[in-house]
Each structure stands twice: as C-alpha cells, then as structure tokens.
Structure 1
C-alpha cells in the first residue's frame, strides 16, 4: 500500500479540518496530495511531537476536527502520548500513523515495527484508545478514515505503507517558519480569533 494513495483518499474526505504532520517524505507527499489543505496543515520538523501537538490543538479547539499524520518512528519516539490519549479521550482527534517500518528520512534503518513483534495499534488499545486499527489495504484505510472523522472519541489508524516516496512530485517550497505563520493565520481567519497580534513598536 502506497502512502501517497492513502493521502489522496484521506484528503478527499477533508474540508475544514486542521492537520499536523511529520517530517520527511510525507511532507512533500501531503503537499501534493492535499493542495486544498495546505494552509490548514502545519508541517512539523520534530520527531515525537506531531500527535502531542495535535492533541493540544484538539483540546484548544474542541469544536474542530484535528488530524494527526504521524509516523512509526515519530510515535515510537514518544509512546507516552498514547497513554495521554487513553486518559483524556479527545472527541475530535483522528491519528493516522504511516508505518513504513523504517526511518526513511535518515537513510532507512528499521524501526521496531519492522521485526513483526511490535504492533502500534495494539499498544494504543492497551493504553486505553479502544478504536485503534492496523490496516494493510487502501479500502480498509479509507473506511477507517471515514469512521475516524465521524467518531466522537480518539481514533487511530496505523497504515502499513511501502517505504518509498512518491516519485516526481513537487517539493514544498516554504520553510518551517513560513509554514507556522501560514497555519496560524489560517486558524485565526477560520476561527475569528487573534493568536499572534501585531508587532509592537518601541
């Protein structure tokens, strides 16, 4: 199953959601798979921070659906977030984990999921997130995304995807600082709030 195909299926279901996503090849793939979600997507650069930041956003905007696009490496870096999700039970958070069984952004060394014993969905269920599923086909993925976007509880989809990046796609041309401001201004505009006010003159 290709991550890019999964992204296109998920993107087709999104309208006014906010998306937090991880580093590496998934950034450029999402940039191409979901052009209508570019302003609503925060492209992160820190391993282990994607789902925690998505949870914070879900808590701050409980009326808004938040989507975390995490990775196996990123989630393994901070498994404690699963226990927090299990305890807090956010009603508006869908977590998708791209499990390609490797740290692709640093050359492809295997993650713990590569050896057939570590099941991130099972770990999530053990931590109290009852709706956590491992999927291996595009149809399964799409069905669980549909259910997760409508669920009134935390929902996790661990997608087993191939370890290759979609070839010949356009690279995202903004850096992390610019991405942050684009995202914040989008939240301000769609929520009618001020997060970052005007600069002060001394």
Structure 2
C-alpha cells in the first residue's frame, strides 16, 4: 500500500505535498508600501510555477523585524510550514538601528542551524547600509552575512538590492523600501541562490 501511495505522489505531484519555500524576512520581503501580490515572494511563486516547480512559497516576513525577533519566531514557523528551503532576509533593521553586530551574527547563525536541523536548506540574504553609518560599521555589517553563510554552509545572496541601490527612482519616498517596479529586480537577485536548492 505504501508503494502505491508513493507512486501516486510521483504521478500526481500536484496532489501531494511538493515542498515549501519559506521567506522569512522584514519589510523588504513583506511588501511594505504595496499590495502583497506585488512583493518579490509572490513573484517568486509565479516564477516557480512558470518553470515547472511545484513548491509553494510562504511569506512569513514581518515589517520592522530584527534578527532577535526572527530568532524568536522561527521555531513556530518551521514547525508549522515544514519548509524545504528557508530564505533568511533579516538584519537590515539591526543595522539601521546601529545594534551590535555580534548578536546579529549569533542570531543569523542560530536561525540557520535551526532551519537545517528542521531539514531545510538555507539562503542568507545580505544587506548594505548607507555610508553615514561609518565605514567600519557598514563594512563589518555587510561582511556578517557572508561570514555566517560560509561558516554554516548556507547559500548567499550578497546584496538584495544589488544593481540599483543608488538609483532613487527604484525606491519609495522613504528612500529605504524598493518600489513595486523594483520587485522583479529583487527576485532576480535572490533567484541564483534559490534555484539550485529546488527539486522538481
């Protein structure tokens, strides 16, 4: 009977659970200032379908979230969604608030380990800060993401807003959040790290 069920799943993959991509971030992934269907995680779902992947995208991002808040929330999200891939897009609010970098790195590390222990592959999304935070802090901040990814064997997106961070027209009035028109560019930046982790 188990073999029959397994065969049924293979033949009718749309009926059985095909896997979940959990996007776990802050306002940059939550779709701040726009409709939910315009945010890059929703565009990710459309791309998966277009390219024949069966995974479902769950966007558990919360505006204003820090790595400390994410570390607190993640166990429940892992238990609920049982993701195959976790995209960690957190840290921007730590940096904007000038929080110490060591706790941020520790939080990213523990979230990565928790996701892996739950059976998920992890993508860490890197960020940069405006230069007014000073060269020492901004460079160490940016380097934190690569350091955690390397140490923990996670995939890395070097910079979520790579290629347009200095172009004001791609940002909302606050100068921090990308516009709806910029969301495909965010997706294009994360896709190379996510795609190798997916199974059809």
* TM value normalised by structure 1: 0.42
Larger Rg: 2
Higher relative contact order (CA 8 A, sep 6+): 1
> Which structure shows the higher helix fraction?
2
* TM value normalised by structure 2: 0.43
